[in-house]
Structure 1
Amino acid sequence: MQNSDNSSPATASAAPADNPHPRNRFALTGRSAQLDPRHEPVRRDLADVRLADRVFAPHYAAHLTHVATRATALRAGRDAGTELLATLNAGDLFEALELSAGLAWGSAPAHGLVGYVAASDLGRVA
């Protein structure tokens, strides 16, 4: 990120004298990239932490890998009437970034799509 005129520049390896481990940092330069939210797990309020070097978001999350326990709909939105993007088959992986109100939001790597699935149709991968 760029610093304002009245702030000091950040250093990549600055570490307090009592901390022998330098802190690794990265910085966004310029504007955030425009990503396709149908194919990249990014919303206005949340993004996959793996995208942190390309987009700015108020919150980032690391995905938790789940597996579809039965065939389930991957939808563009929260409501059951929203566009059906794909059907995940039993055994398909789903990378969940948010679990809320009985739905999981994240990406389905086999389909290359991002959307919502019923959380009850997912099981955790050990």
Structure 2
Amino acid sequence: MSDTVQYELPKGKLGLKGPMTRPAPGTLPLRGDLAHIALAESHLVPHYVIPQFYTVGDDPVELKLDANAGSDTLATLASGSTFEVLDHVGDWYWGCVSAKGPSGYVPRDAVTPDAA
């Protein structure tokens, strides 16, 4: 089992605090419909997700900008590294390396869930 981060739920009142610049795709684990729970105090989306921790298999895997093999590669995740899964899209998982990014898609068969 890999060492994983425990994320806390936000405390206090959440709300809009003025205009913000949307980060570039593939940076923070943030989409228009959902975001990593660690971003709840700084970004407004309809849904926040507590990640499920997965481990990259025996081979390194490319983190893709979109859910297809021809998409731009954002990073290469080493064998045995942790990937935080936030959503599944067909044969792909969308998630991140950490709450600070990068975020993107990996094939579902490239990672396995960590033991509870």
Alpha carbons 1:32, 1:56 under 8 Å: kept:
no
Give percent identity, aligned residues only. 30
Alignment counterpart, residue 76 of structure 2, candidates 76, 87, 93: 87
Matches of 1:91 and 1:38 in 2, distance apart?
Answer: 21
Equivalent residue for 1:20? none
1:58 aligns with 2:46: yes
Secondary structure of 1:120 counterpart: helix
Q: Which has the higher contact order (CA 8 A, sep 6+)?
A: 2
Aligned residue type for 2:103: V
Secondary structure of 1:87 counterpart: strand
| TM-score relative to the length of structure 2 | 0.76
Aligned residue type for 1:90: S
Q: How many residues align?
A: 103
1:103 aligns with 2:92: yes
Aligned residue type for 1:37: P
Secondary structure of 2:38 counterpart: helix
Alpha carbons 2:67, 2:89 under 8 Å: kept:
no
Aligned residue type for 1:68: V
Q: Which contiguous aligned blocks of 4+ residues in structure 1 show a shift greater than 3 angstroms?
A: 23-28
Alpha carbons 1:32, 1:54 under 8 Å: kept:
no
Alpha carbons 2:25, 2:65 under 8 Å: kept:
no
Higher Cα Rg, which structure = 1
Alpha carbons 2:26, 2:74 under 8 Å: kept:
no
Alpha carbons 2:37, 2:48 under 8 Å: kept:
yes
| TM-score relative to the length of structure 1 | 0.71
1:76 aligns with 2:52: no
- Structure 1 gap ranges (5+): 1-22
